[in-house]
Chains A and B, each alone.
Chain A
Amino acid sequence: MTEVGRARRRKEDARLLSGRTQWTDNLRQPGMLHVMFLRSPMAHARITRVDVSAALGLPGVVAAYSGQDFAAEQGSLPCAWPVTDNVVIPEHPPMATSEVRYVGEAVACVVATDRYRAADALEAIEVDYEPLPAVLDMNEALTPDSPKVHEAGNQAYSMQMTVGDIDAAFRDAPVVIDRTYVQQRLIPSAMEPRAVLANTDGDSFTLWSSTQIPHILRVMLAVVTGIPEHKIRVVAPDVGGGFGSKLQVTAEEVLCLLIAKRLGKAVKWVESRSEGNLTVHHGRDQIQHIQLAAEADGRIRGLKVDLLADMGAYLMLITPGIPLLGAQMFNAIYKMDAYEFGCTGVFTTKMPTDAYRGAGRPEATYGIERMMDELAAELRLDPLEVRRRNWIRHEEFPYTTISGLTYDSGNYEAATDKALALFGYDKLRAEQADRRDRGDPVQLGIGVSTFTEMCGLAPSRGLGAANFGAGGWEHGSVRMLPTGKVEVITGSSPHGQGHVTAWSQIVADSLGVPFEDVTVLHGDTAISHKGMDTYGSRSLTVGGIAVLRACDKVKDKARKLAAHLLECSPDDLDFADGVFKVRGTESQKSIQELAFAAFLAHDLPEGVEARLDSDATFDPENFSFPHGTHLCAMEVDTETGMAKIRSYVAVDDIGKVVNPLIVEGQIHGGIAQGIAQALFEEAVYDADGNLLTTTMADYLLPSAADLPEFVTDRTETPATSNPLGVKGVGEAGTIASTPAVVNAIVDALRPHGVHDVQMPCTPERIWRALA
């Protein structure tokens, strides 16, 4: 039985569940001190005075600093995605020196012997601010007389692309749908808050951080601080989730490193949940103006998308690129003659935005999937029928879309048929009609989302063309130990995804060794010296394949060695189940025997080194394009506005599946997170720019009790861009589910004249929509 495809329980879990964990906050270093940051209570202000002297006199306080104290060495936090020629990348000092531009920005810090004393000392620091006007609304920010967030103005960049004759598509179009949707601001809420520990031996530095990107972070820390790269080691120990929020180079990481350098001591910082809500980069926050022109039979002629994207106060690691990850996704699975996409990045005095699960693609998918339902309603067609009339048929793959991506494979018909059967679509439609007829106060709505997405970021050349400041390859290495066990090193950096298990399955199949004999190392630049880390559902499609490639190289070497020892030609050997057999004979060598022979090196052929290991990088030629059909049935209480999910079916096509259990987990979590955007989550700033949702009493996350049982299934259309045929699954659920839920709510309320509800669709908003 092959390992790939088996629902293996995760190797990681026994340790994690029994608490034998290495979260950054669990780590200790001798003489370690604790850092805490004083954060701006003002959305926008000039700093006229920072006085830390009172803090310095308090017990246990070792040091206290203002931004000025680090002005000469703290550099500017990096933005690695200068999306356009006209992009404005403002200086972003890790600790503010002269001006603050969002509530929560660090203005000073304390280093003390414990956190309690550090927190007391923060209260003794005096800061004088001269208030400046807050800039909160994107449309107002772009008016000429708006106060400015930065000297250069409030526009971070603008871009526009047009494909086909967009004017012709809209001219005399029988149907034009024109809508504006707001993607509310979200706060990524990883289970483990951020934490940083930095230590030095005087010359070199180690930084442990709850990060998704130890490799990128190392490079960036060197660039920002001037500490030479080879003197910095970055470790991502156990990391408790990220969802993109830990795909960042943070002020706290830079400052902990610099404080450790200045004091010659280990220092640790751990954020509180409220501090995290203020200062973990936020997600989404777009205003989408979308116009769709169609024929009377529902076929799409053209699509125009105009986005305002809230950057917040600064451009962080990939802030400006996030909305553009949706640029080629609004056209989704549909065929059309013309497409126009424009985006303006806007500065406001709020926490910067950046990658959050799906990053740009959930926004785009929401926009188009809501529009498809609006088109169906306008034409009085079933929402699935409108989609069928427009989608790429399975026999048309590979298909180059209007926005220029080539979808390698897919089968939207198969996924949809399966979903419909599981859902009991016709029966639910009948019930819906019945409730409408009876005027039942609880109405039923059915929401559809036939999504696709581009992930597995990926082709270095493509990323280069988009001005992305990194490659898209991944690294893997595989080494056979003398006793025949296997050590795998991956450049991917898992933080909950189960790489150790999945990579073990891939390696076990490839080398023919037992699953238990494989161990996977990661997340430490001293061990995994090369990598592009984990985000954008890229680990398996890029990193997993790099490991597979490294296995191939190991087998090539082993074949040479086996041929030498068995006195045959390498071509005469068959490899199966970990054993090289001379074709037609009984003579054979197992890969374990060969590992030991390589270790002894008593009898090696010419040109074969004394090691059975290898390195590989993989750089796919294309993204991967998971897709699927999600269906949601929603009961809406028209008396109170409460919307409750009655049933939810998700049929996803993520190509070949390595571990169905892990896939199930990713889909479940993803759907939950997408539902959360539709119904519960919203970061709210007040008119002065104060964040109101700083605790979980105000920023609502759903728990299991608030979610229905998800019915999940799959179709399997292999990707052609990698040898395993796999596609990414990390973001699919989040991308698909949000529009399915809102479409269901709107579908329930259409007879009441409702054609939109702003997310999150709170009971109050639904009630007001009905009023």
Chain B
Amino acid sequence: MIPAQFDYVRATSLSEACQELASDEDAKALAGGQSLLPLLRLRLAYPSKLVDIGRLPELSGVHDRGDHVFIGAMATHDEVMRSGVVNTECPLVALAAATVADPAVRHRGTFGGSLAHSDPAGDLPAVVLALDGVFVARSAEGEREIPAAEFFVDYLESALRPGEILVGVRIPKLGAGWGFHYEKFHRTAQAWTIVGVAAAVRRSNGAIQEARIGLANMGPTPVRARAVETALQGMELGDQLKQACQEADADTSPPSDLHAQPDYRRHLARVLTHRAVRGASGSP
């Protein structure tokens, strides 16, 4: 890796990290480095300074906080996918984290880094959006909360302001009756998602009461498949699910790249949403 020159500081406290970032607009937070370092190596980013936030206690770990699970920004994908709380209270997050790249990346890459980076092809943004997570951000000015629906602003752009650090995300516990599925479509095990569908479905008496569906890589930001969510409400399991999922690509603007053209992504969104909903509702 031959990046341009930069300074490096390892922050010893959250407020120091905020100060460092506030005092230099070209400084960047360094978490697991799995997205930032490739940008540096390709000289697509020239930060003046990297502020290493790897050792801040406020950002670490996964915590059971009663009505929600708090996932620290610096929790690695590996930590998240193995966490007992995550697997019992918000298993969708674990299911998606387990699909990220390979063990090496999962041991360094972080939950917060994935979200702050706001890559629409990332797997976690769509999941947190589907689960209505609440982002906790901190800057020299203090702490604020950002609902998931407002966090993802544009391609590689989040609602975090310059100098703001993502501390972690509150994932509300959904309680009994919910099922989950993450359907990832990609060409090789280590390749990024072409289209991903995160589904949470609450079922009772053989019908779907409520569904939440997040789509990855169907636009510059992750999106909710609202039309399908509405259509599924109260729907019995069976063949009609497929029909309801035909609207999965409504209000999306899928990208065109080497791996897929938009019309193919739209088609995939419909097929995969059906599979994800079936998976989440335990229907064969």
Contact = CB atoms under 8 A, between A and B. Distances in A.
A698 B190 CA distance: 11
B267 interface: yes
A710 interface: no
A761 to B, nearest CB: 11
B93 interface: no
A698 B258 contact: yes
A762 B2 contact: no
Nearest to A699: B258
Given A274-B42, A640-B271, A762 B5 contact: no
A224 interface: no
Contacts of B111: none
Interface in B212-261: 258-261
Q: Looking at chain B's contact residues, is the secondary structure mostly helix, strand, loop, or mixed?
A: loop
A763 B258 contact: no
Contacts of A702: 188
Interface string B255-276: 0001111001001100110000
Interface stretch (A114-122, A183-191, A310-318, A350-358): A114-122
Interface string A512-538: 000000000000000000000000000
B5 A700 contact: no
Q: How large is the interface on B (under 10, 10 to 19, 20 to 34, 35 or more residues)?
A: 20 to 34
Given A642-B185, A697-B192, A764 B260 contact: yes
B189 A693 contact: no
Nearest to B194: A763
A572 interface: no
A400 interface: no
A323 B187 CA distance: 30
Contacts of A701: 188
Contacts of A700: 187-188, 191
Contacts of B258: 684, 692-693, 698
A680 interface: yes
Interface residues of A, number: 29
B268 A680 contact: no
B172 to A, nearest CB: 32
A123 B3 CA distance: 12
A639 B271 contact: yes
B45 interface: no
B4 interface: yes
A17 interface: no
Contacts of A695: 38, 42
Nearest to B121: A697
A179 to B, nearest CB: 25
A417 interface: no
A120 B4 contact: yes
Contact of A272 (B2, B188, B189, B259): B2
Interface string A646-688: 0000000000000000000000000000000001100010000
Nearest to A765: B264
Nearest to A693: B258
Given A684-B258, A698-B258, A764-B259, A703 B2 contact: no
Interface in B24-67: 38, 41-43
B188 A706 contact: yes
A668 B24 CA distance: 52
Contacts of A14: none
Interface string A357-378: 0000000000000000000000
A134 B44 CA distance: 26
Contacts of B260: 764
Contacts of B190: 703, 705
Interface string B189-219: 1111010000000000000000000000000
Given A698-B258, A764-B260, A703 B188 contact: yes
Given A116-B2, A701-B188, A706-B189, A640 B259 contact: no
Interface string B110-121: 000000000000
A702 B191 CA distance: 9
Interface string A68-89: 0000000000000000000000
Residue from the set B192, B264, B267 with the largest chain A CB neighbour count within 10 Å: B264
Interface in A714-771: 762-764, 767-768
Contacts of A763: 185, 187, 194
Given A116-B2, A274-B42, A640 B268 contact: yes
A116 B3 CA distance: 7
B28 to A, nearest CB: 19
A705 B185 contact: no
Contacts of A639: 271
Given A764-B259, A764-B264, A767-B264, A640 B185 contact: yes
Nearest to A760: B187
A701 B187 CA distance: 10
Contacts of A123: 43
Nearest to B4: A120
A699 B262 CA distance: 20
Nearest to A706: B188
Nearest to A270: B2
A123 B191 CA distance: 31
Contacts of A116: 2-3, 5
Nearest to A762: B187
B189 A705 contact: yes
A705 B188 CA distance: 8
A96 B73 CA distance: 49
A274 B43 CA distance: 12
B117 to A, nearest CB: 14
Contacts of B4: 119-120
For the complex of A and B, list the 3 residue pairs with the smallest distance between their C-beta atoms, beginning with the closest.
A705-B189, A119-B2, A706-B188
28 contacts: A116-B3, A119-B4, A120-B5, A123-B43, A274-B42, A640-B185, A640-B268, A640-B271, A640-B272, A679-B187, A680-B187, A692-B258, A695-B42, A697-B191, A700-B187, A701-B188, A703-B189, A705-B102, A705-B188, A705-B189, A706-B189, A762-B187, A762-B259, A763-B187, A763-B194, A764-B259, A767-B264, A768-B264
